[in-house]
Amino acid sequence: MRTAFTLFLSAVAAAPFPDVGKGAPDVKIVHVKPECPQIHGKDFLTPQLMVPISASEPDKMFGYVREPIVTPNDICTLFNLHIPVSYSGKACAFEFMLPQIEDALKPYTHKGDGHFSFSWYVNKSANVLTTWNSQPKIETEWAVVDQVIVPGEKYVLEKPAPGSCWVDKSQTYLAVGARLCSNDTTLKFLEDWGKCPAGFFVEVF
Ligand SMILES: *[C@@H]1O[C@H](CO)[C@@H](O)[C@H](O)[C@H]1NC(C)=O
Ligand SMILES: *[C@@H]1O[C@H](CO)[C@@H](O)[C@H](O)[C@H]1NC(C)=O
């Protein structure tokens, strides 16, 4: 099982960056094993698109990745999620989880003191062509400016009022995004749920 999953991922990684519109499916719901630590819900929405951007190379297009990367004061990763309208009556939480080194699939690097910032945008999306210069405008009032993030923990970044999950009935889905940056830490990991969730997710209760 593990081997098949790893092989599938390396096959995908070997392919060139996908064309616009060919990214991951819009809404992917994953079911999580009950034995995963710190997990309360059973279902998670996974990012529809993840794209790194670089402050030092502000016009560089990294394209879609499965392995988000953050470097001190330079590379950030944007995560896009689509919340389907069927979630409008539900409680949800925006979360970031990092596995312990020994539980993680490769690659996995977490080097530094772990100060991260998360910033949000709603009703806007990044795409595979997004660069530092063209990134969606951040909604600063939702920024989580200094969160220490270390392996083995779960961080609840935002919890909309129960029964909203932000999406309203007038939309088929709500596009939300988050930008993860750090001033002192290099982070690279596989956004994955083959063992337990690792990365950015929306947990649905
Ligand atoms: C997103 O846009 C829709 C349609 O314009 C609007 O009804 C909704 O309130 C917006 N959602 C948020 C959270 O801003
Ligand atoms: C990173 O930011 C945090 C919080 O603002 C601060 O405490 C820390 O000293 C900063 N680290 C570096 C290397 O600038």
- Interval 100-135: pLDDT, tens: 887 778 889 999 999 999 998 888 999 999 999 999
Q: Which amino acids bring their CB within 6 angstroms of ligand 1?
A: 122-123, 166, 168, 170-171
The CA distance from 181 to 205, in Å, is: 28
The CA distance from 84 to 168, in Å, is: 9
Which pLDDT value is given to residue 139? 76
Q: Would residue 14 count as lying in a domain? A: no
Q: Would residue 127 count as lying in a domain? A: yes
Q: Would residue 69 count as lying in a domain? A: yes
Q: Would residue 4 count as lying in a domain? A: no
The CA distance from 36 to 34, in Å, is: 6
Q: Is the pLDDT score of 7 beyond 80?
A: no
Q: How far is the CA of 39 from the centre of ligand 1 (A)?
A: 29
Q: How far is the CA of 73 from the centre of ligand 2 (A)?
A: 11
Q: Would residue 11 count as lying in a domain? A: no
Ligand 1 atom closest to residue 166's alpha carbon, by position in its atom list = 13
Task: Give long-range contacts, CB 8 A cutoff, 24+ apart: 155-159.
Answer: 155/95, 155/96, 155/97, 156/93, 156/94, 156/95, 157/93, 157/94, 157/95, 157/96, 157/118, 158/93, 158/94, 158/120, 159/92, 159/93, 159/94
Ligand 2 atom closest to residue 182's alpha carbon, by position in its atom list = 1
Q: Would residue 131 count as lying in a domain? A: yes
Greatest Cα pair distance, the chain, in angstroms, is: 44
Q: Would residue 2 count as lying in a domain? A: no
Ligand 2 test: best mutation among 74, 181, 183, most atoms within 8 Å of CB? 183
Higher pLDDT, 174 or 37: 174
Average pLDDT over residues 13-32: 47
Average pLDDT over residues 37-66: 89
Ligand 1 test: best mutation among 82, 122, 123, 124, most atoms within 8 Å of CB? 123
Amino acid sitting at position 112: G
- Nearest to residue 69, comparing CAs of 199, 189, 198, 191? 189
The CA distance from 85 to 101, in Å, is: 36
Which pLDDT value is given to residue 127? 94
52 close to 71: Cβ distance less than 8 angstroms: no
Residue numbers of the domain that contains 47:
22-204
Strand order in the sheet with 92-97: 29-31, 43-45, 199-204, 92-97, 154-158
Question: For the chain, what percent of residues have pLDDT higher than 90?
Answer: 39
Q: Would residue 190 count as lying in a domain? A: yes
Number of domains in the chain: 1
- Nearest to residue 151, comparing CAs of 179, 202, 113, 110? 110
Quickly state the pLDDT bin for 26 (edges 50, 70, 90).
low
The model's pTM: 0.83
User: In the block, which residue shows the tokens 């009556």?
Assistant: 89
Ligand 2 test: best mutation among 73, 115, 187, most atoms within 8 Å of CB? 115
- Looking at all shown ligands, the one closest to residue 144's CA atom is 2
Average pLDDT over residues 140-156: 84
